[in-house]
Amino acid sequence: MGKPGTITLFLLFVCAAFARSQFVSVPIDHQVYPLLVKGETLGMFDSYSLRVLPLTRHEVVLLLKSMKQHTPILSSADAELVDQMLGEFAELKVGDFAVPENEIHAYRYEE
């Protein structure tokens, strides 16, 4: 393999790495942030987690899972909201079906 082939192979790996490292941020006005602030206030996770916004979907899922482990501290309405948000942020693979407890919303209604 010559020099052009090596450069092409290197660029292919670099492009693949960049394509894989893209993260989707959760908009600042999303309803999950007040819930996460409540979890932080109740001491369910470190307060440093919410200092830099917006959070990525992965970070939100990790914080929601931390809240799910502390469900007895939450009110029943907040526990249901944690479950709803976990369903909204669930990462399904192509061909997988959402389990009944996961709710996927095409839109959001607020009063």
- 42 Rama class: left (phi>0) / alpha (psi -120 to 50) / beta: alpha
Cβ-Cβ contacts under 8 Å for 56 (sequence gap 6 or more) = 23, 24, 25, 26
Confidence of residue 80 (pLDDT cuts 50, 70, 90): very high
List all residues 6 or more positions away from 61 whose beta carbon is below 8 Å from its beta carbon: 86, 89, 90, 91
Whole-number pLDDT of residue 21 = 47
Name beta bridge partners: 56. 25
pLDDT bin (cut points 50, 70, 90) of residue 108 is low
pTM comes to: 0.66
Average pLDDT, the chain: 79
Instruction: Write out pLDDT tens, residues 3-45.
Output: 766 766 666 655 555 554 457 899 999 999 999 999 999 999 9
pLDDT in the model for residue 23: 73
